[in-house]
Amino acid sequence: MRFSFRPLLETTLILLVSLLWCEVGYYYYVFLYKCPGWPEPSSIEVEQRKFTRILVLADTHIMGPVKSVMIDKWRREWQMRQAFSISLRVYDPDVIIFMGDLFDEASFSWDKSFEEACNDFERIFTIDRSSREVVVIPGNHDIGFHDHMLYFPHLIDRFQDRFKATTGAELLSSVKIRSLNVVAINSMSFYNDSCPYCRESRRAVNAISRYLNDQATLQGNKFVHPILLTHIPLYRLNDTQCEYPSHLERIVEKENLQGKDVLHDEISQFLLRKIQPRLIISGHTHMKCKTNHLLAANDRHEFHEEITISSYNHKYAEKKPGFLLLSASRTGTFATHCDLVEEWVIASIYIAAVVLICSRLIILKY
C-alpha cells in the first residue's frame, strides 16, 4: 500500500493559513480596514496641518506570577506584542503615551519581580526611542492608590526612576510635544486631603497654571490650550456614558466612588479651573467613554471633553480592547478610538480549522 503525503500537506496548509491569518493577517485587516486611521481633517488650511501623531495606550496590565497562570500570561503578552508592533508599522506615530497601569502586580511586588515585569514591558513594547518619544504616567496598579502610595513611597520612586514618570504634575517638555502644552499628572497624588504628595501636586498645578496664563497673555489668539493626561478619570457621577457589556449595566449605573473610581469632584474642578484643557485623556475604567465636564466660572459655563480609553489587554477590557489615535497641533485636536482584534473571531477560525482537518482525515480513512 502506497503512503500518501497529501493528507499531511493538506493538514499543514490548513494549520499554516489559519495561524498566519489569526496571528498576523487579522491584525493588519483590523488596523487597515476597521480603524479609521489618523483623524486629520483635509479641510484645514495647509499651515495648520502640522500634526503630531500620538498613539495612546492604557491599562496594559502586564501580568505577574501571583494573579495569573503562565499560559494565560503568555497569550495576553503575545496579543499585545503583535498588536503593538503591527500598529507601529501601520500608523508610524511620532509619540507613544502609556496612560498608567502598565503592570498588574507592581503595587505589591518586590523589586526583583518589578524588574522582571519591566523587562517584560520592554520586550512586549519594543520602541525605537531615537525616532519616537515615549511618555509614561503612573497608575494605581503601578504604585498603589493614594494611601498605599503614602505608606510605601519606594513604589513611586522606583517607577519614576525606571520610566521618568511624574510624581505629581508636569508640563511635558519633550521635543515633539512641548508645543502642545501637554500636562501629565499622577492621579494618586490628587486626593482630597493635605498629604505631602497632594500639597506638592497642587503647588505644581498652580505653577503650571501661572505659566499657561502668562503664555495666554503674551500669545493671545495663538495660545495653545493644554491637553491633560490622567490615569484616573475626572469626577463623573457614574459610567453610563461608557461602552459596556450588558451584564455590567447595574454596576455602571452605581455612583462612582470618589478617590478610587474617579477623582474627587473638588479636585476635578480644581484641575479644570487651573489647566482649562481642550482635551482630557484617561484610562482606569477599562471601558471606552466620552464625558463632557462642566466648569462653572465667572458666570460662564464651559465644557471640557474627556476621552477614557479601554484597556489594551484582552483579559481586562470590559468590552473590546483598544487604543487612541490622537492628531494634535497647536490649533486643533482630533482623536479616534480603535479596537483590537476580537478573540471570538480567532477562536472560531481555529475551531473551524480543527473541524476541517478532522473531517478531511475521516473522509480519507474511509
Is pLDDT above 90 for 155?
yes
Look at residue 224 and tell me if it is in a domain.
yes
Confidence grade of residue 99 (pLDDT, cut at 50, 70, 90)? very high
d(CA 53, CA 180): 12
Q: What is the mean pLDDT of residues 97-119?
A: 96
Query: What does the block give as the cell for 170?
Result: 508636569
Cβ–Cβ under 8 Å, residues 156 and 149: yes
Confidence grade of residue 250 (pLDDT, cut at 50, 70, 90)? very high
Model pLDDT, residue 47: 43
Lowest mean pLDDT among 49-53, 82-86, 208-212, 286-290: 49-53
pTM, to two decimals: 0.93
Model pLDDT, residue 365: 64
Look at residue 289 and tell me if it is in a domain.
yes
Express each pLDDT in 312-357 by its tens digit.
999 999 999 999 999 999 888 999 999 999 999 999 999 998 898 8
Lowest mean pLDDT among 49-53, 165-169, 358-362: 358-362
Q: How many CB atoms lie within 10 A of CB 107?
A: 22
Could you tell me which residues come within 8 angstroms of residue 216 by beta carbon, excluding any fewer than 6 positions away?
223
CATH number, domain of 319, equals 3.60.21.10
**Number of domains forming the structure of the chain:** 1
Model pLDDT, residue 357: 83
Using a 10 angstrom Cβ sphere, with 0-12 exposed, 13-18 middle and 19 or more buried, the burial of residue 307 is buried
Residues spanned by the domain of 79 = 43-342
Confidence grade of residue 220 (pLDDT, cut at 50, 70, 90)? confident
Model pLDDT, residue 31: 96
Look at residue 16 and tell me if it is in a domain.
no
Q: Could you give the residue ranges of the DSSP H alpha helices within the chain? A: 6-20, 26-29, 70-91, 111-124, 140-143, 146-151, 153-163, 196-219, 249-253, 265-275, 343-365
Cβ–Cβ under 8 Å, residues 237 and 187: no
The contacts found for 68-71 with CB under 8 angstroms, 24 or more apart, are 68/104
Look at residue 84 and tell me if it is in a domain.
yes
Look at residue 27 and tell me if it is in a domain.
no
Lowest mean pLDDT among 33-42, 50-59, 141-150, 186-195: 33-42
Look at residue 12 and tell me if it is in a domain.
no
Model pLDDT, residue 41: 74
Look at residue 35 and tell me if it is in a domain.
no
d(CA 241, CA 293): 12
pLDDT, mean over the chain: 91
Look at residue 17 and tell me if it is in a domain.
no
Express each pLDDT in 252-304 by its tens digit.
999 999 999 999 999 999 999 999 999 999 999 999 999 999 887 655 677 89
Q: How many CB atoms lie within 10 A of CB 222?
A: 10
If one compares 10 and 201, the residue with the highest pLDDT of the two is 201
| Nearest in space to 179 (alpha carbons), one of 53, 328, 282, 39 | 328
Model pLDDT, residue 308: 97
Q: How far apart are the first and last CA of the chain?
A: 15
